[in-house]
Structures are given as structure tokens and as C-alpha cells.
């Protein structure tokens, strides 16, 4: 099962974003993992050649192009729903899209699917009949409890993942609280979550709010997310680029970083940060309510690469920042969320650091191959 890669930006069209050449150059420059482009309203295709050109232009930069059609315009019967799914699958394949994320909103544009699991199943069956291997992400509202007339089970049962529109400024509340409620309500469907940040009033989409959303994504152990939408002057491109480039996806206001990118490489030295901290006489605490990871240095620790703590300490344990600790130990930090709860793992940069120091030797007894 494949989700969109990394950080992506959604677009209503190609022409309004400057054309395929401009979009491709910006996506590669920023380091986007993917672009999602609207390609159809029902069975009416849009910008076929422009999207094909975009796919070709971003290929060299490793950027994926996904398509997101509006679905439900012509699905007044199960037969028509099946036909619409087939047509949209052909459209996606013909432009070389990585996958398809149908946008289905029964209260706005997709009324034929209201309380109709049969039509939902038929629509997805139409896609599968043409493109059985094409990844499908069901894009819709964030909270099933407030959209009970959407046939969630049918749509999610036939999709590979869910792409909820977590438009926190429109909804009201912090990005973290909105996303956590979304994940909680979607959990019974047992589908991977690829959340979409954004706002119906684009001017309210700020760089700071995107960083908070990225933190919420990392806290909840999600692997990728999208941003709606590619809107020129209102899109905080500097923040988007920062999120794409940085392994430390965001630094919270109190200075404690939230880290992401699961450890994927094989054969590298990996240690659990908690084990490192405890081996050095320190402690790691996680506060679920504020989504804050705290690292505490051991009593008497001194600043320096041999010890690795970011602060000089005398007496009781004292809180320290994680970034200097990671740098001092010559490790990269990766955020993961196994069943036991949020954890941070440290992966060696190239060869494993030396262990000549007694403290460093004590820090790495748990080393494993990823």
C-alpha cells in the first residue's frame, strides 16, 4: 500500500499556478514529495496535457503527481457510479499519475452518495476494474461523527488510505487537537491516515500554523501530509520549503523539537533515545496533553561532545534541548510511534560514533541493526 510521499501541496489546476514548467521548478526547488492536482469533475476531465507535462517535468526531481477528481456529479445510480469510477481511473492512468484521491463531499458536490453505500462501492469498483494497482485515497471531511450521511465504511473499505481535510482554522481549535480528533474518529476503519492541512480562507494559512500541523503529524506517527492549496501569494512557501528540507520538522515554542522520518535504512546503528538518556543517568518524559518530549540531563553533566548534553548541570536533573544532544552524539534523530507510545530513535550518520568515552560506551549498549 502506497501513500503520497513526504510533504505535498494540492492545486486546483495547473494553469492557475503558472503552468507545468513553473510548478515543476518550484516543487523540485522546495523538495516537495508530491503534488496533488485536480483533474476532473465527475466524468469531465480538465487539463489532461498540462498534467501530463507536469508529471514528466517533476520526474527528474523525484516528485510524485497524484490526481484528485471531484466524484459524485453523475452517480445517480450504481451503474453511473461505476462508470464514473472507470472514467476517472482512465484519466489518472493516461496522465501517468502515481495515485488518485477522489474528493467526495456529500454536503457539497457529491449528493448522490448520501446514505448510499451501494453507489460508493460501485464507484470504487469502477476504479479497480480499470486500475487494480492504482493507490486510492478517500478524501473527505475530517470527522465522521459530524457527517453521518457519508457512507464511510463503504468508501474506506474500498480505499487504501484516508485523506481527511483537517482545516483547523475553519474548524476551530489547534492543529494538534483537530488532527487527534480526526485520527480518533477514523481509527475504527483501520486505514492509514494522510491528513490534509489548509483552510477555506487561504489568507489564514500561516507558516506558524503549518509548523504546528507538521508537529501534530509527527506526534501522531504519520508518514506524510498535504497542504491545501497552491494559491500563490497566500501560500507560506518559506515555511513549506523549511518543512520539506528539515529532518527536525518543527521546533516547538519551548525549544523542544518534534522529530519525524521513520528509520527505513538497513544495517545502520540505531539506539533508542530513552536508553541513551538512562544510560547517561538522565531521563526522557513524554507529556501527551501538550505533545511535548522532554529530555533531562543527569546530575553533574557538563557541556561537551563526550557527554552530549546541551546544558551544564549541577545538582538535580535539568531539562535540556535535544538538537545539541543529537549533534554532539553525531546521530540523526527519527520519530516513531510504536504501540508502546511515542519514542525517539537515534541513527548513526555513516559509521557509528566511537565509544572510547566510558559515558558514550554506556550510551550504546542497546545498539541494533534497523
Q: pLDDT tens, 11-45?
A: 999 999 999 999 999 999 988 999 999 999 989 99
Instruction: List helix spans (H) across the chain.
Output: 20-30, 48-58, 78-95, 117-130, 152-157, 168-171, 175-186, 207-219, 237-245, 273-279, 322-328, 358-363
The residues that bridge with 320 in the sheet, in sequence order, are 295
Of 341 and 231, the one with more pLDDT = 231
- Rg (Cα) of the chain, in Å, rounded? 23
pLDDT score for 248:
33
End-to-end CA distance of the chain: 21
The strand order across the sheet containing 269-272 reads 331-336, 343-348, 269-272, 368-369
Residue 317 dihedral angles phi and psi, to the nearest 5°: -60, 145
DSSP for 164-195?
A: EEE-HHHH-S-HHHHHHHHHHHHGGG---B--
CA distance 12 to 17: 8
pLDDT on residue 223: 75
> Does 82 or 113 have the greater pLDDT score?
82
Please, are residues 321 and 284 in contact by the beta-carbon 8 Å criterion?
no
Q: Could you give the percent of the chain with pLDDT greater than 90? A: 40
pLDDT in the model for residue 208:
83
The predicted pLDDT at position 215 comes to 73
**Domains, the chain, ranges and CATH?**
7-245 (3.20.20.80), 269-369 (no CATH)
The yes-or-no verdict on residue 225 having pLDDT over 80 is yes
Kindly list the distances between the CA atom of residue 246 and the CA atoms of 6, 242, 251, in Å, as whole numbers in the listed order: 11, 6, 11
Helix 48-58, helix 78-95: angle, nearest 10: 50
Q: Is the C-alpha dihedral spanning 164, 24, 247, 351 positive or negative?
A: positive
Q: What's the CA gap between 139 and 4, in Å, rounded?
A: 13
Q: Please provide the size of the chain in residues.
A: 370
Choice among 105-119, 122-136, 252-266 with the minimum mean pLDDT: 252-266
Between residues 24 and 204, which one has the greater pLDDT?
Answer: 24
Question: What is the DSSP pairing of strand 225-228 with strand 250-251?
Answer: unpaired
Q: Nearest CA to 111 among 83, 88, 90, 81?
A: 81
Higher pLDDT, 151 or 311: 151
Report, as an integer, the average pLDDT of 91-106.
95
Average pLDDT over residues 111-118: 89
Specify the DSSP class assigned to residue 203.
Answer: G
Contact 251, 219 (CB under 8 A): no
Is the predicted pLDDT of residue 119 greater than 70, yes or no?
yes
Q: Which residue has the cell 521546533?
A: 251
CA distance linking residue 342 with residue 62, whole number of Å: 30
Average pLDDT over residues 58-70: 92
pLDDT at 62: 87
In this prediction, residue 192 has a pLDDT band, given cuts at 50, 70 and 90, of very high
**β-pairing verdict for 225-228 and 7-11:** parallel
Tens digit of each residue's pLDDT (9 = 90 or more) over 330-349:
555 554 443 334 455 555 55
What DSSP character marks residue 136? B
Average pLDDT in the chain: 74
Q: What is the pLDDT at residue 73?
A: 74
Close Cβ partners of 218 (under 8 Å, ≥ 6 residues apart)? 249, 250, 258, 259, 260, 335
Please state the rounded mean pLDDT for residues 251-264: 35
Instruction: List Cα–Cα distances, 177 to 97, 169, 251, in angstroms.
Output: 33, 12, 18
Strand, coil or helix: 67: strand
At residue 147, the pLDDT reads: 87
Amino acid at each position: 500500500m502506497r501513500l503520497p510521499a513526504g510533504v505535498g501541496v494540492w492545486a486546483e489546476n495547473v494553469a492557475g499556478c503558472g503552468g507545468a514548467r513553473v510548478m515543476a521548478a518550484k516543487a523540485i526547488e522546495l523538495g516537495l514529495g508530491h503534488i496533488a492536482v485536480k483533474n476532473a469533475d465527475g466524468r469531465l476531465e480538465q487539463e489532461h496535457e498540462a498534467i501530463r507535462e507536469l508529471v514528466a517535468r517533476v520526474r527528474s526531481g523525484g516528485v510524485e503527481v497524484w490526481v484528485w477528481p471531484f466524484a459524485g456529479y453523475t452517480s445517480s445510480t450504481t451503474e453511473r457510479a461505476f462508470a464514473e469510477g472507470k472514467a476517472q481511473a482512465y484519466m489518472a492512468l493516461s496522465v501517468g499519475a502515481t495515485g488518485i484521491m477522489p474528493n467526495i463531499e456529500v454536503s457539497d458536490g457529491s449528493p448522490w452518495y448520501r446514505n448510499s453505500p451501494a453507489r460508493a462501492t460501485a464507484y470504487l469498483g469502477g476504479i479497480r476494474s480499470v486500475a487494480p494497482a492504482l493507490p486510492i485515497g478517500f478524501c473527505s471531511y475530517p470527522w465522521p461523527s459530524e457527517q453521518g450521511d457519508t457512507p464511510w465504511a463503504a468508501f474506506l473499505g474500498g480505499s487504501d488510505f484516508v485523506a481527511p481535510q483537517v482545516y483547523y482554522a475553519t474548524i476551530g481549535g489547534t492543529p494538534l487537537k483537530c488532527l487527534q480528533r480526526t485520527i480518533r474518529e477514523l481509527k475504527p476503519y483501520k486505514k492509514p491516515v494522510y491528513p490534509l492541512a489548509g483552510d477555506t480562507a487561504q489568507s489564514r494559512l500561516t507558516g506558524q500554523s503549518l509548523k504546528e500541523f507538521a508537529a501534530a503529524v509527527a506526534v501522531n506517527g504519520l508518514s506524510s501530509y498535504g497542504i491545501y492549496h497552491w494559491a500563490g501569494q497566500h501560500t507560506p512557501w518559506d515555511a513549506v520549503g523549511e518543512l520539506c528540507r528539515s529532518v527536525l520538522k518543527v521546533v516547538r515554542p519551548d525549544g523542544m523539537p518534534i522529530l519525524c522520518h521513520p528509520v527505513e535504512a538497513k544495517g545502520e546503528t540505531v539506539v533508542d533515545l530513552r536508553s541513551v538518556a538512562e544510560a547517561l543517568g538522565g531521563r526522557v518524559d513524554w507529556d501527551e496533553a501538550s505533545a511535548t518530549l522532554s529530555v533531562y540531563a543527569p546530575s553533574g553533566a557538563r557541556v561537551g561532545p563526550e557527554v552530549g548534553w546541551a546544558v551544564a548541570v549541577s545538582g538535580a536533573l535539568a531539562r535540556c534541548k535535544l538538537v545539541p544532544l543529537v549533534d554532539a552524539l553525531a546521530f540523526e534523530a527519527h520519530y516513531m510511534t510504536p504501540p508502546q507510545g511515542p519514542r525517539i530513535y537515534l541513527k548513526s550518520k555513516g559509521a557509528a560514533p566511537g565509544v572510547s568515552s566510558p559515558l558514550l560506551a554506556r550510551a550504546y549498549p542497546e545498539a541494533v541493526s534497523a
